[in-house]
Amino acid sequence: MAQPARPRVAAARLEREILVLVSSGRARSRKEIAESLGIAPSTVSQRVQAMLAAGVLEETGEGASSGGRRPRALRVPGSTGYLGVVDLGGAHARLGILPHGGELTTTTEVALAIGDGPGPVLTRVTAALRELAAAQPDGGRLLGVGICLPGPVDVARRALDSPSRMPGWSGFDVGSWLEDALGVPAVVENDANAMAVGEHFGHARRTRHSVSVKAGTAIGAGILVDDRLYRGAGGAAGDITHTRIPAGGDTPCTCGNRGCLETVASGAALVRLLREQGYDVAATADVLALVRDAEPVATTLTRTAGRHLGAALCTVVNFFNPGAVYLGGALSTLEPFVSAIRSQIYEGAHPLMTRDLVIAPSGLGPDANLVGVGRLLEDTLVPHALATHASPTPSTASEGPR
């Protein structure tokens, strides 16, 4: 029996990789595609030429030159339209609009209470998203919507899986609800994973392996390996917040366990510790205000929280050996917190792991989650483009994507 043609399979995979890069704006030329995928420029040129002939890609204008003739820019035909992106928090949602294949252009925030449940919250969010899209110069035709949520997400079911502090959300099909409401494809992701994708591709100094930590009311982390989001066997990779540490003692955690990292290193932990000392604080924002005002007790507690998180990250750095650790979330805006994390990692991790390690605060700030979920949405829209334009050109490529 004849064996299937492996080169044709490799070519199909490579075409998908190329389409993802071009449609998301990560690469606009053959050279950028080759650099992103780590494969021979001749292989990329061959596949791009086949995709141009099939109408999967088109050339338009001129791209940026690094010397010599300016390259022609690549784009996905028929990609005019917008993506709606949402970062849902406990008391507000941050919304954004970005052109398909472009950069985030418009953002806004709306107040809400996540405890009201998925129906009321998503109704509020979609209404605000429609208004934001309609305000675009050409009417803002939405091609897709992406939302990131503050809890463990089952990506296949597009639902939260036993989240803390979110009554009524567990198992709710957020993706189908959004698709029914807006009539476009939807992506649902955990907020730390979305932030990790945004930060990983948003820094000028690129690394193929990174860990991004979101330290706010709770703590989450996302991991990228070879430029790909790593989810783990059960989709919960990066959940360091519920790692038990000695400093946590017997303190109850929202997960039902005791002594988790969240109980000593999160914004919620700092609120609790300050209230125990008589301070009138109710939310992480109150802690931020005290530390920025150089209040000594709040500053000391924040520095200690950073040391606890840094100690936990030493294990991550030693095990994973990332090229960068990016720090996001509200607490990462506090210098004592970030400095304590840095010093703890450099002191506790092996020198081989820290020799070239970048430890940096978020480069995108509050937009990191929106940018990240936008990129994930672009990746999801790729099969629609492939279904519209089927490449009939037989493949001779022998080199697939890394």
Q: How much is the pLDDT for 315?
A: 95
Asked whether 322 and 357 are in contact (CB, 8 A), the reply is yes
Q: Choose the weakest-confidence range: 21-35, 85-99, 238-252, 257-271.
A: 21-35
390 pLDDT exceeds 80?
no
Neighbours of 6 (CB within 10 A): 11
Neighbours of 57 (CB within 10 A): 25
49 pLDDT exceeds 90?
yes
Q: How far apart are CA 181 and CA 198, in angstroms?
A: 26
Terminal C-alpha separation, the chain: 30
Residue with tokens 């639902």: 159
CA dist 185 → 115, 142, 193, 382 (Å): 26, 10, 19, 11
Summarize the confidence of residues 5-28 as an average pLDDT.
74
254 pLDDT band, cuts 50/70/90, is: confident
The C-alpha R_g of the chain, in whole angstroms, comes to 22
Query: Quick one: which H or E segment has residue 32?
Result: helix 30-37
Length of the chain as a residue count: 402
14 pLDDT band, cuts 50/70/90, is: confident
Q: How much is the pLDDT for 7?
A: 54
DSSP-assigned states of every residue in 123-180: HHHHHHHHHHHHTSTT---EEEEEEEESS-EETTTTEE-S-TT-TT-BT--HHHHHHH
Q: How far apart are CA 182 and CA 122, in angstroms?
A: 11
Neighbours of 171 (CB within 10 A): 11
Q: How much is the pLDDT for 8?
A: 57
Asked whether 151 and 164 are in contact (CB, 8 A), the reply is yes
As a whole number of angstroms, the longest Cα–Cα distance in the chain is 78
Provide, rounded to the nearest whole percent, the portion of the chain with pLDDT above 90. 64
Residue with tokens 């017997």: 250
- State whether residue 230 is helix, strand or coil: strand
Specify burial of residue 26 (Cβ count, 10 A radius: 0-12, 13-18, 19+): middle
| Nearest alpha-carbon partner for 97 in 385, 367, 379 | 367
Summarize the confidence of residues 151-179 as an average pLDDT.
92
402 pLDDT band, cuts 50/70/90, is: very low
Q: How far apart are CA 142 and CA 388, in angstroms?
A: 18
| Nearest alpha-carbon partner for 211 in 226, 200, 198, 202 | 200
61 pLDDT band, cuts 50/70/90, is: low
